[in-house]
Structure 1
Amino acid sequence: MFHWYRDISATERKTFWACFSGWALDALDVQMFSLAIPALIAAFGLDKTEAGLIGGVTLVASALGGWIMGAVSDRLGRVRALQLTIIWFSLFTLVSAFAQSFTQLLVCKALQGFGFGGEWAVGAVLMAEVIRPQHRGKAMGTVQSAWAVGWGASVLLYSALFLLLRPELAWRVMFGIGILPAFLIVYVRRNLREPRPGAHAAAVPGSGMATLMGIFRPDMLRMTVIGALIGVGAHGGYYALMTWLPTYLKTERHLSVLGTSGYLAVIIFAFWCGCIASAALLDRIGRRLNLVLFAACCVVTVLAYVFIPFSDAAMLVLGFPLGFFAAGIPASLGALFNELYPGGMRGTGVGFCYNFGRIVSAGFPVLVGHMSAKMSLGAAIGIDAALAYALVVAAVLALPETRGKHLDETAAQTGGSERSERDAIPARH
């Protein structure tokens, strides 16, 4: 399954591990908020809509961060932009541990989100430009599995801290640990270099605004709109489900801290497996078919999970396909979005498509919280998530297949084909 790793160069491996580590640490920071929602509700006297608002504002900020920092990486370079985003979200995760009011926490989480969104966009483009085309899908899908690693670490921290400490202190300690990603800067500075130094700034002449708006040129607009819709569906389904899942398990399924952690452990392991499976399929069956397959299965499993009155044991078993299929969509997006854009606007395009979904999906956690006042929390989660995943199926069918496309920066590091993007012929299925 991982035979491709033996074929890649030392430069490709260092880039892979830098991005893998960064994404895992991102997940550690972000998932801690979902786990801490019940404690935050108690600490600040929040209702579910206000708690959902924190998650929503964080997603909006992360979307802006992804778009803006993607454009910054087109002008200043991928590695420099990556360092900036890592230190940014680490710092504000730490600061959020000292919040004394709902407003302070809201501002801190928004600033954290800006850096988090930027880190994914910059790291995804760096990976796509360094990893050779025949292994791009496998490598980028495997990097996405790092989310499960960070998510699992956050659950372990949650279980330990909330058993050992009072809830009002435990969540602050969790957020304080969020400074850990800052230490990744040392590795990045020592081991990574630009795929092609100076190419990004020269590729799109003009102002920063021209760089940001280049993806809306008439020849690129269709790809940008469809990519953005895929981002909306992918993020909307994920955040509607995963933001509220710990609260659902605790308040409606009445599970203890350890019981909740057990269910989440199954879903997290399944998420890792789903990323690896999606990574293997991306370079075999193509980007489009892979996304359709996983998104359609997501619709079915999420509706079954929240609407069918399974026993606790049956829900534990169903948690595996729930996490497995939810993973396949984000594991596909890095490769797909990078292959839609030329080098001079790739960071901008990838950052926008992936993170525009976060802007719109920011309303999904808020909507779930609002709908739960009139129906069960499980029903609200199921309706929102299923509609979002159905959008992915509809949108991806309007895109061309891009498997095997050569990116202009790739050959500089890997020694692969020098064929340019304009000469590449995307595979059709």
Structure 2
Amino acid sequence: MSHGEVPVAEARGRQSAVAIEDASLAAFYRDMTPPERRTFWACGVGWALDGMDYMIYPLVIGTITALWHVPPGQAGLAATVTLLASAIGGWGAGYLADRIGRVLTLQITVLWFSFFSLACAFAQNFDQLLVARALLGLGFGGEWAAGAVLMGETIRAQYRGRAVGSVQSGWAVGWGLAVLSQAILFSILPAETAWRWMFAVGALPALLALYLRMYVKEPEIAEKSRASQASGAARPAIWEIFSGPILKTTILASLLSTGAQGGYYAITTWLPKFLTSDRGLSIVGSTGYLAALIVGSFAGYLTGAWLADKIGRRNLFLVFSLGAVVVVLAYTQLPLSNSVLWLLGLPLGFFASGYFSGMGPFLTELYPTRLRGSGQGFCYNFGRGVGALFPALVGYLSAGASLASAIAIFAAAAYGLFFLAAFALPETKGKVLHAD
């Protein structure tokens, strides 16, 4: 909930949403109440484990294609199907969060994607794995939708960018956990067994649902909005985000999310394969290169979180989309030595990830409370759904061109779209939320 709207804020002197007394990254955390901190850590851990679950497949894609003789295009299809399903799951979970609550929806989605990660470990062929990944995607998309709205409504306006952006950095932590699991499991187990244990590890997020049930409370602003609907106010229709003045916002925000996620997934889905095929590294040998990417990604998330409140959400998107295009072209197209490539992984991870820190607060601020879950869930996950086509398209194009060129083409196109959509949308920095 926004502190501009609740008694807690009044006790603190009802600070201006724009006047930020402490501009440091950690200011919001020092000023948090215990319930806010529990929500922050629950969403941060949830996003980390969500990231771990998703990144397992890109890490084992090379092993699966070799064991089951799966062509690159079909292998990329599994990543695409996961993201397409997440688009449906995110919109549905966002709408559900507006009807039954943010916290309960978050619990359901965490349990869902944990179960189907475990199901992936028991797949006997690629078709079974494809179905399991699709079902996992429903919960994967829903977790972000419910968690981002929960965080956006819990933190006051002047700290929202840093708080939600810091939670977003949990994705890099989850990615790191997936890479660490790969390094350990592929070192001690044969490849045909290790990949199954990778997916089994992905079932661990189920434990988070217990914490959510015991310690995390529903934002007061969301409870007021649902109470108003229960007392006679019109309930939001699932199609309402496509009507009236909201329609333009939904279209532009969906295009923004498409560009942001299309570029990211075109890079991260195929980069492990690029390192082993185009650069000749072993699975274990590529770990250091992925580690550099992850460290850069983590730094990007935290820097993006700070910049979202410092220079605004829109300027963050414009700067980072341009930076991402430059670095990905250098990484994939220049004749660099492996040592230089390792160093370049730091800025690649930085620019290809950092802008996500502004996505959660930005989408939260674009919609009224009664439509926030539905609008935010749809736009972000529409981007996932269309961006989901990029891994498959990269895979199909790589059959006739180099994998490096395929990655560069689709990443550059996606970031161009991201830049244009960001330019067309308004700045929302400092916006105070209301129970409307």
Please name the residue that 1:244 is paired with. 270
- The equivalent of 2:101 in structure 1 is 77
Alignment match, 1:97: 121
**Cross-structure match for 1:427:** none
- What is aligned with 2:382? 356
The answer to whether structure 1 residue 325 and structure 2 residue 351 are counterparts is: yes
Deviation at 1:186, TM superposition (A): 1.3
Moved segments of 4+, more than 4 Å = 202-210
* 1:183 and 2:207 are equivalent in the alignment: yes
Query: Are residues 1:19 and 2:43 paired?
Result: yes
Aligned counterparts of 2:98 and 2:155: Cα–Cα separation in 1: 18
Q: Which residue of 1 aligns with 2:59?
A: 35
Contact between 1:203 and 1:344, CA under 8 Å: does it hold in 2? Answer: no
2:224 corresponds to: 199
Determine the C-alpha separation between the residues in 1 that align with 2:406 and 2:53. 25
Q: Percent identity?
A: 50
Which residue, 172, 175, 194 being the options, matches 2:196?
172
Summarize the Cα distance change of 1:204–1:247 in structure 2 as closer, same or farther, 3 Å threshold.
farther
Structure 2 counterpart of 1:160, which letter?
I
- Check if 1:214 corresponds to 2:240: yes
- What is the CA deviation profile of residues 307-359 of structure 1, one whole-angstrom value per residue up to 9, with x for unaligned ones? 00101011011111100011122111001000000000100011011000111
Deviation at 1:198, TM superposition (A): 3.9
Shift of 1:237: 0.2
* Residue identity matched to 1:159: A
Structure 1 residues 259-310: Cα deviation after superposition (integer angstroms, max 9, x where no partner)? 2100000010000000100111111111111110011110111111100010
Measured after TM superposition, the shift of residue 208 of structure 1 is 12
Assess, with a 3 A threshold, how the Cα gap between structure 1 residues 90 and 311 changes in structure 2: closer, same or farther.
same
Supply the distance in 1 between the matched residues of 2:154 and 2:414 (Cα, whole angstroms): 32
- Segments of 5+ residues of structure 1 without an aligned counterpart are 410-420, 422-429
Q: Which residue is 2:22 aligned to?
A: none
Distance 1:48 1:325 in 2: 27
| CA spacing shift, 1:203–1:62, aligned 2, 3 Å | farther
Which residue of the partner structure matches residue 424 of structure 1? none
**Once the 2 structures are TM-superposed, how far is the Cα of residue 43 of structure 1 from its aligned partner?**
2.4
**2:228 and 2:254 mapped to 1: Cα distance?**
23
Q: What's the TM-score once normalised by structure 2's chain length?
A: 0.92
1:338 has 2:364 as partner: yes
The alpha-carbon distance between structure 1 residues 208 and 69, as it changes in their structure 2 partners (threshold 3 A), is farther
Between the aligned partners of 1:213 and 1:322, the Cα distance in structure 2 is 38
The question of 1:291 aligning with 2:291 is answered: no
Which residue does 1:6 correspond to in 2?
A: 30
Cα offset for 1:142?
A: 0.5
Question: Do the aligned partners of 1:73 and 1:200 also contact (CA within 8 Å) in 2?
Answer: no
1:58 corresponds to: 82
> Which residue identity lines up with residue 144 of structure 2 in the other structure?
W
Q: Residue 200 of structure 1: CA displacement?
A: 4.5
Decide which moves more: 324-333 or 220-229: 324-333
Cα distance between partner residues in 2 of 1:38 and 1:264: 15
CA distance in structure 1 between the partners assigned to 2:111 and 2:354 by the alignment:
29
CA distance in 2, matches of 1:402, 1:189: 32
- Over aligned residues, Cα RMSD in angstroms? 1.6
Which AA in structure 2 matches 1:6? R
Q: CA deviation at 1:258?
A: 2.8
Partner SS for 1:255: coil
Q: Aligned to 1:116, which of 106, 120, 140? A: 140
Counterpart of 2:286? 260
Does structure 2 conserve the Cα–Cα contact (< 8 Å) formed by 1:139 and 1:279? Answer: yes
Residue 257 of structure 1 and its aligned partner are, at CA, apart by 2.2
Counterparts of 1:7 and 1:209 in 2: how far apart (Å)? 35
d(CA) in 1 for partners of 2:139 and 2:233? 22
* 1:210 positional shift: 5.4
SS of equivalent residue, structure 1 residue 98: coil
TM-score w.r.t. length of structure 1 = 0.93
Distance 1:199 1:107 in 2: 39
Distance in 2, matches of 1:339 and 1:209, equals: 20
TM-superposed CA distance for 1:214, in Å, is: 1.1
Residues 1:44 and 2:95 are matched in the alignment:
no
Q: Judging changes above 3 Å, is the alpha-carbon distance between structure 1 residues 42 and 138 closer, same or farther for their aligned structure 2 residues?
A: same
- 1:361–1:95: structure 2 CA closer, same or farther, 3 Å change rule? same
Judging changes above 3 Å, is the alpha-carbon distance between structure 1 residues 163 and 70 closer, same or farther for their aligned structure 2 residues? same
Superposed displacement of residue 209, structure 1: 10
Residue 369 (structure 1) aligns with: 395
Contact 2:152 2:361 in 1 (8 A): yes
Q: Secondary structure at the match of 1:18?
A: helix
1:152 aligns with 2:176: yes
Show CA shifts across 1:161-194 (max 9, x none).
1111111100101101111000001111111111
Q: Which amino acid aligns with 1:332?
A: G
Change beyond 3 A, Cα 1:372–1:203:
farther
